[in-house]
Amino acid sequence: MPHPAVRFATLLALALALAVWGALPRRAAADDGTLLDDDTWGYRSSGDVAVDAGLTVGFPAALPTGLSTGAVAGVTAGRRWTLGARAAWSTATESSLAWTVTHRDLRLRIHGGVQATPGRGTIGLRLGLGGTLVHETRQRNQGMRAGLTGSALETSALAMLPAADLDGVVMLHVAGPWLLVIAGGPSVDRHDGALHAGWNAELGVAWQP
């Protein structure tokens, strides 16, 4: 099975190709019953609120290795200066000789930013502040065969980590109120008395009425 990063890169390339194809001008067919015309790929952006959802990939918040994949959703309000909120859920699993460790991260952010809208596209930068709720499960490998039970077999922990993200955002109007959204950048969280740096990337669609 392909690595999650390879799958995400493939989806990103396909989405970019679809967006570029959708942005190309179309000629209306001579037949009055045509399904595609010049208005099919038109767009409107009169609203100040955009709602988006998609896939996310990046470093786990507290796991020193591995890749975390999942889903993200958010809302953004504003034209040049923006405010919004986002939530993302992702998982990562890594193994050693003794343990299999699974991290489930719930990232909650309030963000502000600035953006410009040249033509069909929107380019922006946003800073998100909030916390990441991390649920960790550790299971001892071959523990059941050895007859282990309870905490000797499996342990779990829950922690809320203060965190921040700095994302570059690119949105492209495809058709009507629908946009393709690509975002990503560095992130940082604090745990065990130290800062843990990483990155996150997103690929999704947005609706701007």
Spatial CA neighbour of 57 closest among 182, 172, 208, 189: 182
pLDDT of residue 120: 82
Total domain count for the chain?
Answer: 1
pLDDT in tens, the chain (209 residues): 555 555 665 665 565 555 555 544 544 444 455 555 555 556 656 678 999 999 999 999 988 888 999 999 999 999 899 999 999 999 999 888 777 889 999 999 999 999 998 878 899 999 999 999 999 998 877 655 556 655 666 788 999 999 999 999 999 988 888 999 999 999 999 988 899 999 999 999 999 98
Is 46 within a domain? no
Is 36 within a domain? no
How many angstroms separate the CA atoms of 2 and 96, rounded? 21
Is 34 within a domain? no
Establish how many alpha carbons lie within 13 A of residue 199's alpha carbon, considering only the half-sphere containing its beta carbon: 7
Phi, psi (deg, nearest 5) at residue 5: -65, -35
Is 81 within a domain? yes
β strands within 36-177, DSSP E: 49-58, 68-77, 81-95, 99-116, 121-140, 154-175
SS3 content of the chain, % helix, strand, coil (to 5): 10, 60, 30
Residue corresponding to tokens 């003794």: 98
Boundaries of domain holding 73: 4-23+53-207
How many angstroms separate the CA atoms of 86 and 121, rounded? 21
Is 175 within a domain? yes
pTM: 0.76
CATH code for position 107: 2.40.160.20
CB-based contacts of 97, cutoff 8 Å, min separation 6: 141
Is 44 within a domain? no
How many CB atoms neighbour CB 190 within 10 A?
15
The amino acid sitting at 200 is N
Cα Rg, the chain, nearest whole Å: 21
Is 35 within a domain? no
